[in-house]
Structure 1
Amino acid sequence: MVTPFLDTDIPPFLSMAKEEGWICHRWEFDFLLKNFAQGCLVKRDGKSALGYITSVQFGRSGWIGNLLVQQEFRRSGIGRELMQGAISALLKSGVETVWLTASEQGVELYRRLGFVPTDHICRWSGEGAGKGLLQPGVPDFELVKAVDREGWGERRDSLLVATCSRGSLFSSSAGFICCQPWEDGTQIGPWGCLVASQAWPLLDQALSGVKGRVFLDVPASNLAASALLGQSGFFVKGRSTLMHLGTEPRYHPGKVFALASMGSMG
């Protein structure tokens, strides 16, 4: 049986995640527990946590992330039990489409649960220009919400406000880009554009004020984003599979240049 995620579960989870090489932080769990606590679950054996999962709802869609099981208890059904618990919580709340990104090892588990591949997500890595010459203007969250909705087919207002508020946000007439600070570098994302020609000036603005390592998760189907990043000296460091369960999503990858989170929330 799985039980709700508690605040005391966050530090041990983050420690495990760091050992796995994941990029995640306390603020993500604060957001998840505030917005969809019923979908953040733990598998326990007495007082010991054997595995974790988180999920969040955005209107009629939802996102599952952070499925993590203690090494010695993997391949024992815990991951499947946690997945079923998160899916059930999302469906009970009215979600029609459930998203996740799967590692190579996880694809078959998710297929057996009914998920189908939608796209691939490439993790790009590079360096900022470090000029520090440009400052973002006043955030236009209405533009951000509208552009993001064109890419994902869903209102994800709470996620966008949370991620863009903690970073630097640049915008144009038909696009936006956000730089989020992390301990070991800067994440670009969310990044959306309705007009591909506006993506390069936005990327240039973002990189001009960033020093050191930069990383972002990009839909492989967005060829314009891949071309821009390649021309800017970025390289693909990893790859995962974007999958969905349920109703076919209104997903337009050509308008999604980078995800808002590194796998946990879309």
Structure 2
Amino acid sequence: MSPVIRSARREEMPLLLDWAAAEGWNPGLADAAAFRAADPEGFLLAEEGGEPAGGISAVRYGKEHGFIGFYIVRPGRRGRGLGMALWRAGMARLAGRVVGLDGVVAQQANYARSGFALAWRNIRFAAEAPRPVPDAAGEVVPVAMLPFEALAALDREVFPAARDAFLRAWIGAPGHRALAVLRGGQPVGFGVARPCRAGSKIGPLTAIDAPAARALFNALAQGMPGPVFLDLPEANAAAMALAAEAGMAAAFETARMYAGPAPALRLERIFGIASFELG
């Protein structure tokens, strides 16, 4: 019997997050609503015999960009073609767009066979209690003090499409610490720290330069439950240096890959990625 693949309903999002937690992906405590805000139809659920059996996210950002993630088939349901059916459904939903993903390195060859090419590596760093980093500069304030449009403009430098609905939900989610850094009264960076099933994650962490990113990092990490995780592009040497000076150790990595032309992003401004699941 062929699986039924459909968009997950709002009340089914926690189930997908529980599956992710069982895989060791450590989702945030308030991820469900924010993830769904990115694209309410973008999380697909596969059913076999009327029971949930797997899922994938195929999130549309505008008309030109999409992102694949949250690719899970439940144990006991694997090896029967369900994963491939989910993959095809996700890619079909994003047809005509440049599609990105953050895949485990072991699957890089498989993604390449589906038309994806490596753009860069992302490294997850972790520390039980990160040290404050030196050379920080800027006035750190709650993002609520700034017009949303200013944050969205900074985000568009590091993401290939507008994602306003996601950002609004992300910065306003329960338990999330959302801060911006000012210089001369103007915003030069922003970031979010969120509590997760285990510890906390910082992301996004976006800034025009390292001193602004360091000011944000110090404020975001302070007092968050440990361990604290930070996902960043290996190609940003300043971000790598920040993690090292904070006493964080590399714990995991992914391959950022694109099917279609890789977008021109300001990698030097990406000091923390919002989510491996959504880009």
TM-score relative to the length of structure 1 = 0.86
Shift of 1:121: 1.1
Equivalent-residue separation in structure 1 for 2:160 and 2:11 (angstroms): 35
In the TM superposition, what are the counterparts of 1:54-203 in structure 2 within 5 Å?
54-59=57-62, 60-91=64-95, 96-126=97-127, 127-128=129-130, 136-139=141-144, 140=146, 141-166=148-173, 167-172=176-181, 173-203=187-217
Q: Compared with structure 1, are the counterparts of its residues 111 and 77 closer, same or farther at alpha carbon in structure 2 (3 Å cutoff)? A: farther
Higher helix share: 1
Identity of aligned residues (%): 27
Contact persistence 1:32–1:55 (CA under 8 A):
no
- Compared with structure 1, are the counterparts of its residues 128 and 68 closer, same or farther at alpha carbon in structure 2 (3 Å cutoff)? same
User: What are the Cα deviations for residues 195-247 of structure 1, in whole angstroms up to 9, with x where unaligned?
Assistant: 23322222222233435321121111111011011011111111111111123
Worse-superposed segment, 35-44 or 96-105: 35-44
| 1:14/1:96 CA distance change after superposition, 3 Å | closer
CA deviations 1:98-145 (Å, max 9, x no partner) are 111101333233222111111111111111569xxx984353332321
Q: Is this contact kept in 1: 2:33–2:169, CA < 8 A?
A: no
Structure 1 gap ranges (5+):
none
Q: Letter of the aligned partner of 1:28 in structure 2?
A: D
Equivalenced residues, count: 259
> What are structure 2's unaligned runs of at least 5 residues?
133-138, 182-186
Show the counterpart of 2:258: 244
CA RMSD for the aligned pairs? 2.4
Give the drift of 1:26.
Answer: 6.7
Structure 2 length as normaliser, TM-score? 0.83
Is 1:42–2:51 an aligned residue pair? no
In the other structure, the counterpart of 2:184 is none
| Deviation (angstroms), 1:162 | 1.6
**Residues in 2 aligned to 1:113 and 1:37: alpha-carbon distance in whole angstroms:** 26
